[in-house]
Structure 1
Amino acid sequence: MVERIPMSQSGYQQLKKELERLEKVERPDVVKAIEIARAHGDLKENAEYHAAKERQSLVEGRIMELRDKLGRAETIDCTKVTTRRAVFGTVITLMDMKTDEEVTYQLLGPEEADVQRGSISVLAPLGRSILGKAVGDEIVAKTPGGMREFEVINIQAGTAC
């Protein structure tokens, strides 16, 4: 059975755009760089050739990875999700029970998660502990800083997904 990867519609489009750039721009550029380096002669001691071949390997690897992820993507419209419970795409506001600080995260897929931009993966420990919770529920989550307790104080529909 194929493991699906949850992804917002905009996240899917970003990966698709990256794949297109790699296939139509990066790949041909690398092929040209290899041809130019080959023309310089002895390949054993040709640093340009080895650098171009390494770049080719990285580009081809990323292309394969993106094709796989896009093939397994399960796109979700974040604007049409329920706000009764924390689900993919919702924006969750939590109260840290120890510090009384509020934090807000949007629950997204692993490819889109970026804590600095206010989103966390539904597959990360904190994201998993939030899924299915309602306003007023308490959460105990394992974080890089140790075990932390939160209370869900708001759930709203995501935007720009």
Structure 2
Amino acid sequence: MSTINYYTPEGLQKLKDELQDLKIRGRAKAADDLREARDKGDLSENAEYDAAKEAQGLLELKISKLEEVVGNARLLDETNLDLTKVLIMSKVKLKNLKNNMVLDYTLVAEEEANLAAGKISVKSPIGKGLLGKSAGDTAEITVPAGKLQFEILEISR
């Protein structure tokens, strides 16, 4: 069963571009690799040919999975989202109650997550712990390093 995920227009376009690139350049490279390996002689003892066939199979699997993700993707209409609660696409300002550090995160779909850009997945422990909370709430979140407590200072879009 496939899951529906919500994306920003930019995030969905990035997935579509990656899929198109894999279909065109990825398949062309796989075919070239197979052709080159085939030209090297006896296929029954040609490890390079076997590796090229395996790489082609993995490429097709990746294309198939990405087609499923794109097919089940939905664009998120931010104008209809509740601004009082943390939801996907929320920009959240948090205060770590242990060290008083203030953090800014945007909650996004798993494929769009990029910690360096301040985008965390709604499926991550912190993302899951923040969903549904309101400004002023305290979220106690269990992460691999232990329990963290965050105060939600602000929610925006």
Q: TM-score, normalised by structure 2?
A: 0.91
Q: Counterpart of 1:132 in structure 2: which amino acid? A: G
Deviation at 1:80, TM superposition (A): 6.1
Task: Tell me the secondary structure at the aligned position of residue 43 of structure 2.
Answer: coil
Q: Distance in 2 between matches of 1:101 and 1:144?
A: 19
Measure how far apart 1:74 and its partner are. Answer: 2.1
List, as ranges, runs of 4+ consecutive aligned residues in structure 1 with deviation greater than 4 Å. Answer: none
Structure possessing the higher relative contact order (Cα contacts under 8 Å, 6 or more residues apart)? 1
Query: Over aligned residues, Cα RMSD in angstroms?
Result: 1.7
Question: Number of paired residues?
Answer: 157
Identity %: 35
Is 2:2–2:68's contact at 8 Å kept on the other side of the alignment?
no
Change (3 A) 1:15 1:24: same
- 8 Å CA contact 1:78, 1:90 repeated in 2: no
Q: Deviation string for 1:126-153 (max 9, x for gaps)?
A: 1111112111011011112111111000
Structure-2 residue corresponding to 1:119:
119
Quote the Cα distance in structure 2 between the aligned partners of 1:85 and 1:125. 17
Residue in 2 that maps onto 1:85: 85
Q: How does 1:34-113 map to 2 (within 5 A)?
A: 34-78=34-78, 81-113=81-113
Unpaired runs of 5+ residues, structure 2, are none
Separation in 2, partners of 1:35, 1:62: 21
CA distance in 1, matches of 2:27, 2:61: 11
Counterpart residue identity of residue 99, structure 2: T
2:31 corresponds to 1:22:
no
Distance 2:92 2:79 in 1: 14
Deviation for aligned residue 1:89:
0.6
Deviations 1:25-73 (A, max 9, x none): 1102211221221121112332331231122122111101101111111
1:43–1:79: structure 2 CA closer, same or farther, 3 Å change rule? farther
Residue 154 (structure 2) pairs with residue 154 (structure 1): yes
Higher share in helix: 2
Question: Could you tell me how far 1:2 is from its partner in structure 2?
Answer: 4.5
Does the aligned pair in 2 maintain the 1:9–1:77 contact within 8 Å? Answer: no
- Cα gap change, 1:70/1:37 in structure 2, threshold over 3 Å: closer, same or farther? same
